[in-house]
Chain A
Amino acid sequence: MRPAVPVGNDNMRKLYHFHGGIHPPSNKTQSTRATIARAPLPAKLVIPLHQHAGETAKPVARVGERVLKGQLIGMPDGIVSSAVHASTSGTITAIDMQLIAHPSGLPNLCATLVPDGKEEWAPRKTIDYRDHSPAGLQHLLRMAGVVGLGGAAFPSDLKLSLDKHKITTLVLNGAECEPYITCDDMLMRERAAEIVQGAEMLRFMLDAEEVLIGIEDNKPEAIASMRAAVAAGGHQRMEVIAVPTVYPGGGAKQLIRVLTGIEVAAGVRSTDMGVQCFNVATAYTIHRAFAHGEPLLSRIVTITGNVLHPRNYEVLIGTPIAELVALGVALPDTDSYIMGGPMMGFPLPSVQVPLVKATNCIIASSKKIFPPSPPVMPCIRCTRCADVCPADLQPQDLFWFAQSREFGRAQAFNLFDCIECGACSYVCPSHIPLVQYYRFAKSEIHAREHDKQLADKARIRHDYREQRIEREKQEKADKLAAREKAAQAARLADAQPLTAQQQAEQAGIETSRAHIRELAQSAVEHADEGTTK
């Protein structure tokens, strides 16, 4: 890590560097020429019940049921989960497995909603957040389906439940460092006041002192708009800070480092250091949830790349991405579509998959924009990847360990600090798909940990079973012994001395029994003789 050298900026605040970083062509201006437009209501919405990190929401709507806009259709299931709502009014026609936007290309549980075009709202309850406890507000966010809109879609309520940590600084992330993506930029330009009010709500829930809003200096309009909103709202201890444009300056740890100088160590959360970070679009959504009673039903999405009309649209969750592509008018040589940016995004399994809460950008891809990667060559250990790694890792070593499946060593080299930003792959002169190796190693490690947990559970259950069988056997034996003892005691109690006559009778019976036995024996012997003869 370079020493904490302050870098110059217009508001003379001391800023810091994070390690490494790259400067890929930003390609953002194409999609910022036009204002945010509202995408038309599609003929069919497919709303996945798993749009957030954690457990799939439990479907609570029935097939054939008429639902209203904003009505709950997926109940959060488990601690790490979030609610899912009907994006518009209409009829639920199916709840089944459908292809979703996921790198695996596998289907997942979705609710299909055919809109009736009336946009009829379910009852909306607006609240003044100052009248509620932070815990109550967290529950409202969970039920409003609010998740991080920066890309990870982590349930926001969980990021706010910090019983023992004192948060001093709330960082609002408007850096938007990844090329092509401009949804946060346009949101900040056009809806700054609502973002700032959302930030005030977050500050209240976190009980944070100051709010730092970090925006990369390639977005002067957004910076000006946000500054104006902060000044107009009279917000104290809230500052909009222009940060240098370096990829991945919008990573939470990287932005925290740049703004506060705090370096979040391996295995430590930023909340341990008194800082919590939220995306600007998440703040906007929180404002909509509290001040308007609207759950998360739509988001701003950039459609760009190989399209005729790159632009940002406000799109209902569940809209088929094909509809968005049609609005942008994809050029004929488009061969695939990327969800997210060119650095961290993934190619969509189909353009028919629905838009989810995590969809910030759709890039139409062609060979002209993203030429196929040159052939992969062996690692020459040039360590250029280490020079650009924003997490200050040794990517060349991690590559080596992942390649040879030495997962323990990869973990020892802090594999899990990798944010998969792709800076290493970007600079690799051998064009090695390094991030793919790290993702492979991470998911193998996760799978193994999961298997180990299952094995430990099975062991405990097996041990309990053995103990139970042993105990039952013991109990049975004890019971039998007790019964035997009782019977013996009863026999003893029953036994009375016999009279002389009874004794004589018994002796007589015994004699006749002996006689019969003798006769029988001799009969058998005679029979034997008979057979031998």
Chain B
Amino acid sequence: MLSALLVMSAIAAVLGAVLGFAAIKFHTEGNPLVDKIDDVLPQTQCGQCSYPGCKPYATAIAAGEADINRCPPGGEEGIRKLAELLGVEFKPFGEDAVPKAKSLAVIDESTCIGCTLCIQACPVDAIAGAAKQMHTVIASECTGCELCVAPCPVDCISMQVIGEKIANWKWKYPVYAMTATT
């Protein structure tokens, strides 16, 4: 009886020690799922999902608080990727969140008064300028989030759709008539 108890407690102690060691050794900081979701999101940091950025939205999805169809810049492709990652059904965009053509913020430099409000609003530091100096958008860094448009007191920022150019042109999906054979 006593020996059985001792053996069982010894096993429990050893296993406990192993588990305790593993918990320290293989400890992961943060939630890896959040990072995986964040990796799929387009990083526009636009807040159209009603969260203050891509990471907070990823955190909310991971916690089961947010739907996967809240990110218009990610497009349907983004929803598909999230659905695949999370093992849930694809969910189309609601009426309030419809993807728009990818665009770029452009400052009308002759109207700009140099108030720096757009610089403070830009989530990716894509606007260069200083107080009472003309500002300009660094086109290669702009994510098209539109966050700079509203704060501008003189409405000198407009969103311009990125058109098709040789540099970003893509081969199209082949379209042809199929003939039914009888």
Residues of A within 8 A of B (CB): 50, 56, 100, 102-104, 106, 108, 375-378, 433, 436-437, 439-440, 442-444, 446-447, 451, 454-459, 461-462, 464-465
Contact B123 A462 (CB under 8 A): yes
Contact A443 B171 (CB under 8 A): yes
Partner of A459, one of B38, B125, B172, B181: B38
**B179 contact set on A, CB distance < 8 A:** 375-377
CA A454 to CA B125, docked complex, whole Å = 14
Residues of B within 8 A of A (CB): 38, 41-45, 53-54, 123-126, 141, 143, 164-174, 176-179, 181
A432 to chain B, nearest CB (A): 8
Contact A459 B54 (CB under 8 A): yes
Contact A462 B174 (CB under 8 A): no
Contact A376 B170 (CB under 8 A): no
Residue of B nearest to A437 (CB): B174
Contact B171 A458 (CB under 8 A): no
**B168 contact set on A, CB distance < 8 A:** 447
B38 to chain A, nearest CB (A): 7
**B178 contact set on A, CB distance < 8 A:** 375-378
Given contacts A447-B170, A459-B54, A465-B124, contact A375 B42 (CB under 8 A): no
Contact B172 A440 (CB under 8 A): yes
CA A56 to CA B165, docked complex, whole Å = 12
Contact B181 A377 (CB under 8 A): yes
**B177 contact set on A, CB distance < 8 A:** 375-376
Given contacts A458-B43, A458-B124, A462-B123, contact A102 B173 (CB under 8 A): no
Contact A444 B170 (CB under 8 A): yes
B49 to chain A, nearest CB (A): 15
B1 to chain A, nearest CB (A): 60
Residue of A nearest to B41 (CB): A455
Contact A440 B124 (CB under 8 A): no
B100 to chain A, nearest CB (A): 15
Partner of B165, one of A106, A442, A444, A454: A106
For the residues of A in contact with B, the DSSP-based class is helix
Residue of A nearest to B142 (CB): A458
Contact A440 B173 (CB under 8 A): yes
Residue of A nearest to B174 (CB): A436
Partner of A461, one of B38, B125, B172: B125
- Give me 14 other A-B pairs in contact (C-beta within 8 A), A104-B164, A377-B179, A459-B54 excluded: A106-B166, A106-B169, A376-B176, A437-B174, A440-B170, A444-B170, A455-B41, A458-B143, A461-B141, A462-B45, A462-B53, A462-B124, A464-B125, A465-B125
Given contacts A106-B164, A377-B178, A433-B176, contact A462 B43 (CB under 8 A): yes
Query: Can you list 15 A-B pairs with a CB-CB distance of less than 8 A?
Result: A102-B166, A104-B164, A106-B169, A108-B165, A376-B179, A377-B181, A436-B174, A439-B171, A446-B170, A459-B43, A461-B124, A461-B126, A461-B141, A462-B54, A465-B125
CA A378 to CA B167, docked complex, whole Å = 33
Residue of A nearest to B143 (CB): A458
Contact B166 A50 (CB under 8 A): yes
CA A442 to CA B170, docked complex, whole Å = 9
Residue of A nearest to B38 (CB): A459
Among A100, A375, A446, A461, max chain B CB count under 10 A is at A461
CA A437 to CA B174, docked complex, whole Å = 6
Residue of B nearest to A374 (CB): B179
Contact A104 B38 (CB under 8 A): no
CA A300 to CA B111, docked complex, whole Å = 53
Contact B166 A436 (CB under 8 A): no
Residue of B nearest to A468 (CB): B125
Contact B174 A440 (CB under 8 A): yes
Contact A442 B43 (CB under 8 A): no
Residue of B nearest to A108 (CB): B166
Residue of A nearest to B42 (CB): A455
Partner of B166, one of A104, A378, A454: A104
